[in-house]
A and B are shown apart, each in its own frame.
Chain A
């Protein structure tokens, strides 16, 4: 197994193993979190802002609900929004990138400024504007984040397709009379797919952070518990002044660990596709 092999990078390097197990754990919690939660995460009690104890592993919230249970249940929103929004973003980005790169001409002249626009416009304000015009729900969050984060993928795919289009094997296919759909399907798309994949993994990380930020600002789904809404509730209810560190630290730590792990997976795939990147990182390590 070469050290450029994705299986090696994932299962035999420290950071690959760490990232994979964290993502695995949180995906597991997203599915079974509601069953595993020791308490009803919405249940209120008079035991407010209670520090961690044997009955409440991570203490209680401003309503006396169990923080640990909320944490387990909250994984679902992050995972769903992260993956679904990244899927929309990947679809849009690759469609636009393929079309403007492959067809060029007017298609490119129209799509390229749109892509540029989405690259330049500050993302969080754009998401805020869209989310506050629509009423908050999980679906709205997914669509809003997906719609605002595809431009980077589009740019990368377009650049790659521009070079692929001029390659001999594509010209050969064209000379033999292959149509556009055939060339796109058999020659162009398979060659940009790894790139799209690596980039989409990174977008998952961005989407998770975006969901948390929007939820923190009160634009999340009001019917669901997420780590972002936990931080919002903690802050609004004065958890810092109650010095309720058990309520404040865990949700943010979950977001950070998940984002860090997903991003690490993305970088590992990038290294697999682009060995020059890995070689550079490697020389950095071995040169010392």
Chain B
């Protein structure tokens, strides 16, 4: 039955999340003891170390620690950042909107431009336009997104200095109003969002192109053309809607890649999102923060997969009939 298919998917997603939490515990407690980094502090006394160990709860036996850990995680208590001494959850909540803004803009632009170019190429199959688009998208698809980002910075922040090289707002400015602040943020968003868009564009283009090529060879397209419908309308109202389905699956798969891109691109542009938070945590060996961002990234990807499954279920009658 159809409902059971969705319920099964939801259960699988939940299990994967539980698996992440257990894995996190083993990584950060068993492999990397949170106090192990502190031993490197010179002249630290054993009493001080014991006190820290008690603070973290690592003096208790592992099973007790595990129960504590699961309880804390369920209450979104990921501990305290070594660097800022702030709660990890607060830091994540502060960073999350920035990442969503950057990644959301990039994904939206990549989907729109990528699929549009895919349609353009598929309808001009084998011609120079198609070949050029294929070459361009394969190149951006293979190129590291942070490299494209560095080139964008070099070109548009220094060579032709028209855009800011980093950060989310111009520092030390009193904005006259909300609109002025939004415009300033948008100006800062252009380069990093372009980097994310170029990173994702190729895949959307390639999938849309091959999906369109398939649809265009189907009989119903020939029949539509035979009825005298203009070619433009055949493409727009009949071919494109039928070619969109693979894009839904792709956007879920892409989400895992987007997360990787967010880390490198945010680092590059000092964009204050989860990616930069992760990068700073790597540099400072700030394991509670690293653990927190890893959990949030994983939960995000698992959720995106589940959403794609739901959407697929809704869009494709063949799945519902199963």
Measured CB to CB, the residues of A under 8 A from B are 113, 116-117, 120-126, 128-130, 132-133, 205, 209, 212-213, 216-219, 231, 234-235, 239-241, 243, 245, 248-249, 251-252, 255-256, 259-260, 263, 280, 283-288
Contacts and interface: CB of A to CB of B under 8 A. Distances in A.
Contacts of B159: 243
17 contacts: A121-B256, A122-B255, A122-B256, A122-B301, A125-B259, A128-B282, A133-B31, A231-B147, A235-B150, A240-B153, A240-B157, A240-B165, A252-B148, A252-B150, A256-B147, A260-B142, A284-B213
B110 interface: no
B258 to A, nearest CB: 9
A288 B146 contact: no
Given A117-B16, A243-B158, A288-B127, A125 B293 contact: yes
B145 to A, nearest CB: 9
Given A125-B294, A128-B263, A248-B151, A216 B144 contact: yes
A229 to B, nearest CB: 13
Interface in B243-261: 255-256, 259-260
Given A124-B263, A287-B125, A288-B125, A234 B294 contact: no
Interface in B276-295: 278-279, 282-283, 285, 287, 290-291, 293-294
A156 to B, nearest CB: 15
Interface residues of B, number: 55
Contacts of A216: 144, 146, 264
B282 A219 contact: yes
A287 B212 CA distance: 14
Contacts of A129: 27, 290-291, 294
B143 interface: yes
Contacts of B220: none
B297 interface: yes
A213 B259 CA distance: 13
A22 to B, nearest CB: 12
Contacts of A286: 126
Contact of B150 (A116, A209, A213, A240): A240
Interface string B6-20: 000000100110011
